[in-house]
Structure 1
Amino acid sequence: MAITGTSSFSVNFSPVFRRDVTSASGNLKRNLDLKRFAVSSEQASTSSSTTTKTKKFVENGRMWKNSREESETARRVNVEESEERERNGKSLKNYFDEAKDMIRSDAGPPRWFSPLESGSHTNDSPLLLFLPGIDGVGLGLTMQHQRLGQIFDIWCLHIPVEDRTSFADLVKLVERTVRSENHRLPNRPIYLVGESLGACIALAVSAHVPDVDLVLILANPATSFSKSQLQPLIPILKLLPDQIPFSLPYILRLMEGDPLRMAADNLVKELAPEPPFGKLSQDLLTMSSYLSVVANILPKETLLWKLEMLRLASTYANSRLHAVKAETLILSSGRDQLLPSQEEGEKLCLALPKCQNRRFNDSGHFLFLEDGVDLVTVIKGAGFYRRGKYIDYVSDYMPPTPSEFKKIQESNRWHYLATGPVLLSTLEDGKIVRGLAGIPSEGPVLYVSYHMLLGLELYPLVSQFMIESNILLRGIAHPIAFKRLKDGKLPELSTFDPFRMMGAVPVSATNFYKLLSSKSHVLLYPGGMREALHRKGEEYKLFWPERSEFVRMAARFGAKIVPFGAVGEDDIGQVVFDYDDLIKIPYFRTEIDEISNEVEKLRIDASGEVSKQHIHLPGILPKVPGRFYFYFGKPIETEGRKRELRDKVKCHELYLEVKSEVENSIAYLKEKRENDPYRNLLPRLIYQATHGFTSEVPTFEP
């Protein structure tokens, strides 16, 4: 069964108890019989005289936490718990405080540790290995540990300040760990998260182990070191006496836009009109204390060693890019003053076969230490989180937290304001009311409708369901939002990150089946892209396939079918140059063919209008925005009709009934909106200016 639609939204150190003793020259040794648990430093101090006094990490190996019983609830991020963790998150100050503790008694070879505050992950959580940048401390994800720890088993690599392990041996260390963990749990992916130097290590390891399922997340990779401002620092440092701390101010100047800018920005945000002198003094002292910590992390000899390593690492990684087959997500900063990261991100995405790029235009080199950068959100939005060999868009999906949803709302607030959506639903007794009181609260529910021009109805529709009913509409979406067969002229995949965050899944019978079996609220547009890119004069005309594609599947799970209409596209813009016009011009005809070939084709075996889903951008003449209206008809029950609807005739009759209900809903809204005194934008703005911009603007009487 082929199902089509377009995108659904516009939118501690302590003794270790299972030891992983690793070094550049030794092998990975394990005792798999030892119990997996963690103790605090206070507990450890009574049993070992070599315990370092800090509460946050496990030394010389990984720290195991007690895991919960595996269940669907445990597999998903609890929204309220996640939100609470976000409020109690760490700051940049924690990084420097913890780094100071870690290097105070720092000796020995490079080793893994796992942060205690990363929480209790589930048994099937993938392994995440963090590979640090030039600092080598391994605390680069300290502001991310709590969130990441809910969905990953986190190990961080710590390279002591005085350690002189070569780049090649660091690669071997990580490679041994990767192979060992892959042998232990072969069905889960291993994530390598590397920043700058760590990104080069990740690329090298990936080239060495093409048979292991790796996912690379690389922040500002140092593969561009040959173009770095750090290059001229090497000969200068070699000539300067050790007593002259030249490297410190130089590094801090290059880090402008990173820790110092972040601290200053946080200070500005927190200051009241007349800030308390004590608070101001404390923040200034905190900022000045960073200098000594950076000096201890990167003394002259260590800095020289790291810079030489960066040069070698860059050359090594670049020479092996052709052997990297892993999925890769590049995170590139626009204000990175250490490396030309955005330029490098584009270059790497062209060189790597399964690569995506995400730009952070206002961020500096140390991306993960910046306020507002949430790696979990980035991974979710990019569609890079999976527990198995392939992503499962239903079981691997994590709903947006309130703060994530709020950010999506804020980015689309002008759309919402301009369209002033009105939602109507039908109660059991047939009464039409404003709001979603008539919508079933329990799934599975299938919402079927007409797709407005460019899918403009999606953002206000999905947002209002979340706001009013806390229901997440999971849309069956066109592949354009998930995958490219080749690079070209289509918008970058990052454009569709909000779609994936809000639960869109690629169109397929399998995904449709999984959504209904998980009792989801599913949004389906049978007309798909043909309706979203309709021609002139085709407003509100349904282009549905001949076959009753969705009815039998809904009946299989007893899903309620809710037909609904949506109108308002003609109050936003008028199509003046459509597909029929464009295809007559050779230049545009060639461009349409090229763009359409960038994504997977749908319904290639279908006939009629729905088979012609060419991707193009029609010429639209904007209007002063009108209002969007949605009318949800009475839910149609399929429970207990599974046997009946196996009959093709009965199934098609129900299909036509749903289609007719959608058309009737559209006709109802087109008629009733004529009586809405606030249909146009200006009256709505005047009303909200008088009553408050959060007030609900009235509409016609249903």
Structure 2
Amino acid sequence: MTRTGACLFSAGLLPVFRPSRRYAAVKTSASFAANGRLVKNNNVEFKRKELKDYFEESKDMIKTDGGPPRWFSPLESGSHSHDSPLLLYLPGIDGTGLGLIRQHQLLGKIEHRLSPCCNKVFHGAGLVKLVERTIRSESYRSPSRPIYIVGESLGACIALAAASCNPDVDLSLILVNPATSFSKSILQPLLPLLEVMSDQATSSVFANGRSLEVEARIPFYSKDSMVKVLSLQQIVGDISQDFIASSFYLSVVTDILPEETLIWKLQMLETASMFVNSRLNTVEAQTLILSSGRDQLLPSQEEGVRLCHTLPKCEIRSISDSGHFLFLEDGIDLVSIIKGTYFYRRGKYLNHVSDYMPITPSEFNRYYPSYRFYENITSPVMLSTLENGMIVRGLQGIPSEGPVLVVGYHMLHGMEIIPIICQFYVQRKMILRGMALPGLFERLISKALPNASLFDIIRIMGSVPASASNLYKLLSAKSHILHYPGGLREALHRKDEKYKLSWPDQSEFVRMAARFGAKIVPFGVVGEDDVVEALFDYKDPMENPFLKPVAKDLTRTDANEEMATEDISFPVYLPKIPGRFYYYFGKPIETEGTAI
């Protein structure tokens, strides 16, 4: 399978469905095709597909053509650059390969696109081997590029199995509601019953869901045990509920999962779950787990936490109001999730500058309303200085061409950051890339600190871990950069340190800015004292024998950066009558030609 969208044969696997005319598919035998992908006209605009499109296209996909499992490339994802990473999608219990149908265009709009290839298959015993051959072939073709595997439910088990057997291949796994929790699923108690049921009994249960009739046919099942067992009709009902499907599409769901197929897949879920759980300790791939809070089929949230504690390179994001078929729901954007977790890279290691995907207007419009209340409370006033020294309201004084280094003072908890970043984008369409605490991107600080998902928005807006190397890269890329020399210590200052600078004696950022001829825009902010009053800071718990252990747990212990020797404190503050924040950006300071 190649990025061109070739489809593969694998001996011994069951037939799959006829390719839809909307997808490109080329059959090969022993070798991988280097061409064969149909390319859509770049001038054609596509509307993002809806749930009904999934069902309509599934009607074509579920018609068997007697062929083996295969990959297909969605046409709506468009063309891609030669260095774009490959994304493989392994479907869940539906098996159509259309589970990413609402994400295809978004994946194709990435600057260095993830080139999606989807698997369309009723899973068989040879599917892991099929995936293994694919990733090994692609790794050989592009050894410097990672391979992304998005696996849903059963597909997540296949992805983990392939990763455990190929630790030398650079894989990035995105696991959606993994079926590794099948032993705790509502589906698991049904298997023993199904294994002894006749075809006639199975049809009866599927038709009317009457467990008493099954009990009469299988007398050694007690009433207590039967109460715990779901009928096939109930399972299909749960699946339909997770699809958020109307009764009009219920027939499509039952066509996708007929009786025999559903029974077979439940058996396969059990086998795959047992196999993968026995090999979790061998999985070394970078992993992102997406867990739905309202999964009707699997205990996905609990399982996500378990896997995150088991896998060494794992992050988890929980979507509390979503069901089992996550990517078919409204408001779910896989690209934004990848951005927010800094999961996208084109090489062996993440480059926070070259691998950054700029926020799109639609993404900004989706996130910005969540922060408007903060701006409404603080009513920020932005003042900037033009080149002639005139002070104007707004950000017209900020140079349009980079590199530009915006340098200023941190208020308590960095409360001034959100209005700055938002207004730079609203007023000037500039992405202000902040130098942020490394612990917001890596697991460097205590588990007692807030969940990393709370900071996904700052990653989407372009923030990077504060380091000399990242500052160098941003200046090289002629970016607009937000820098706080006072760092964490200044943002978490003590009660008696209002508006006190905590800058280091040697401000090396000036020397580096001069090397690139960057413009330095100094700024200051006032108004914090009109909003909150600190009542409790780091000194207070350190003097309290009961709170001292907690305070120590929040103290940084790593020594990678200059900030590593600082104590983290989370002051307790009392809200006051809301006041305004005033931002003043001084006249840009030219450094080009300056010898420092």
TM-score where L is the length of structure 2: 0.88
Tell whether the 8 Å contact from 1:67 to 1:123 is kept in structure 2 after alignment: no
Equivalents in 2 of 1:536, 1:431: separation in Å? 36
Point out the more displaced range, 123-132 or 236-245: 236-245
Q: After superposition, where does 1:38-53 map in structure 2 within 5 Å?
A: none
Point out the more displaced range, 479-488 or 549-558: 479-488
Q: After superposition, where does 1:216-615 map in structure 2 within 5 Å?
A: 216-237=173-194, 238-239=197-198, 240-242=201-203, 244-245=206-207, 249-255=233-239, 257-260=241-244, 263=245, 287-485=246-444, 488-597=447-556, 601-603=560-562, 612-615=565-568
* One-letter code aligned to 2:578: P
* One-letter code aligned to 1:475: G
Tell whether the 8 Å contact from 2:40 to 2:75 is kept in structure 1 after alignment: no
**Partner residue, 2:168:** 211
* One-letter code aligned to 1:188: R
Matched, 1:144 2:108: no
Tell whether the 8 Å contact from 1:258 to 1:370 is kept in structure 2 after alignment: no
Tell whether the 8 Å contact from 2:517 to 2:590 is kept in structure 1 after alignment: yes
Equivalents in 2 of 1:66, 1:227: separation in Å? 44
Kindly state the Cα deviation for residue 59 of structure 1 after the two structures are TM-superposed: 4.7
Tell whether the 8 Å contact from 1:447 to 1:562 is kept in structure 2 after alignment: yes
**Partner residue, 1:650:** none
**Partner residue, 2:215:** none
Kindly state the Cα deviation for residue 561 of structure 1 after the two structures are TM-superposed: 0.4
Tell whether the 8 Å contact from 1:426 to 1:633 is kept in structure 2 after alignment: yes
**Partner residue, 1:626:** 579
Q: Give the structure with the larger strand fraction.
A: 2
TM-score where L is the length of structure 1: 0.75
Point out the more displaced range, 290-299 or 226-235: 226-235
Tell whether the 8 Å contact from 1:175 to 1:205 is kept in structure 2 after alignment: yes
2:117 corresponds, among 155, 168, 171, to: 155
Equivalents in 1 of 2:5, 2:561: separation in Å? 51
Equivalents in 1 of 2:473, 2:4: separation in Å? 40
Kindly state the Cα deviation for residue 615 of structure 1 after the two structures are TM-superposed: 1.3
Equivalents in 2 of 1:594, 1:324: separation in Å? 30
CA distance 1:376–1:51, change in 2 (3 Å): closer
Kindly state the Cα deviation for residue 251 of structure 1 after the two structures are TM-superposed: 2.8
Tell whether the 8 Å contact from 1:335 to 1:365 is kept in structure 2 after alignment: yes
**Partner residue, 1:677:** none
**Partner residue, 1:200:** 157
Q: Deviations over 1:570-599 (max 9, x none)?
A: 122111111222222244333233223476
* One-letter code aligned to 1:187: S
* One-letter code aligned to 2:433: R
Kindly state the Cα deviation for residue 105 of structure 1 after the two structures are TM-superposed: 3.5
* One-letter code aligned to 1:384: F
Matched, 1:174 2:136: no
Equivalents in 1 of 2:88, 2:429: separation in Å? 35
Tell whether the 8 Å contact from 1:333 to 1:360 is kept in structure 2 after alignment: yes
Q: Deviations over 1:364-399 (max 9, x none)?
A: 000011111010011100110000001111111011
Q: Deviations over 1:174-218 (max 9, x none)?
A: 111111110111000011100000001111111111111110100
Query: Counterpart of 2:312 in 1: which secondary structure?
Result: coil
Tell whether the 8 Å contact from 2:39 to 2:75 is kept in structure 1 after alignment: no
Tell whether the 8 Å contact from 2:412 to 2:492 is kept in structure 1 after alignment: yes
Equivalents in 2 of 1:377, 1:464: separation in Å? 21
Q: Deviations over 1:606-635 (max 9, x none)?
A: xxxxx7521121121121221111000000
Tell whether the 8 Å contact from 1:67 to 1:122 is kept in structure 2 after alignment: no
Equivalents in 1 of 2:4, 2:314: separation in Å? 38
Query: Counterpart of 1:531 in 2: which secondary structure?
Result: helix
* One-letter code aligned to 1:137: T
Equivalents in 2 of 1:51, 1:478: separation in Å? 51
Equivalents in 1 of 2:480, 2:341: separation in Å? 22
CA distance 1:540–1:230, change in 2 (3 Å): same
**Partner residue, 1:3:** none
Equivalents in 2 of 1:371, 1:18: separation in Å? 27
State, as a whole percentage, how many aligned pairs show the same letter. 58
Matched, 1:56 2:23: yes
CA distance 1:126–1:539, change in 2 (3 Å): same
Where structure 2 has 5 or more consecutive residues not aligned to the other structure, the ranges are 210-230
Query: Counterpart of 1:428 in 2: which secondary structure?
Result: coil
Query: Counterpart of 1:107 in 2: which secondary structure?
Result: strand
Q: After superposition, where does 1:655-674 map in structure 2 within 5 Å?
A: none
Equivalents in 2 of 1:516, 1:230: separation in Å? 55
CA-based RMSD of the aligned residues comes to 2.5
Query: Counterpart of 2:191 in 1: which secondary structure?
Result: helix
Matched, 1:636 2:583: no
CA distance 1:330–1:446, change in 2 (3 Å): same
* One-letter code aligned to 1:203: L
CA distance 1:561–1:241, change in 2 (3 Å): closer
CA distance 1:197–1:294, change in 2 (3 Å): same
CA distance 1:331–1:392, change in 2 (3 Å): same
Kindly state the Cα deviation for residue 149 of structure 1 after the two structures are TM-superposed: 2.4
* One-letter code aligned to 1:22: F
Tell whether the 8 Å contact from 1:334 to 1:359 is kept in structure 2 after alignment: yes
Tell whether the 8 Å contact from 1:248 to 1:294 is kept in structure 2 after alignment: no
Point out the more displaced range, 196-205 or 240-249: 240-249
The total of aligned residue pairs comes to: 555
Query: Counterpart of 1:550 in 2: which secondary structure?
Result: helix
Q: After superposition, where does 1:83-94 map in structure 2 within 5 Å?
A: 88-94=47-53
**Partner residue, 1:41:** none
Kindly state the Cα deviation for residue 253 of structure 1 after the two structures are TM-superposed: 2.4
Tell whether the 8 Å contact from 2:18 to 2:64 is kept in structure 1 after alignment: no
Kindly state the Cα deviation for residue 229 of structure 1 after the two structures are TM-superposed: 1.1
Equivalents in 2 of 1:599, 1:136: separation in Å? 46
Equivalents in 2 of 1:137, 1:440: separation in Å? 51
Matched, 1:187 2:144: yes
Equivalents in 2 of 1:383, 1:547: separation in Å? 31
Equivalents in 1 of 2:6, 2:406: separation in Å? 52
Equivalents in 1 of 2:293, 2:518: separation in Å? 47
Equivalents in 2 of 1:55, 1:408: separation in Å? 32
CA distance 1:51–1:309, change in 2 (3 Å): closer
CA distance 1:209–1:17, change in 2 (3 Å): closer
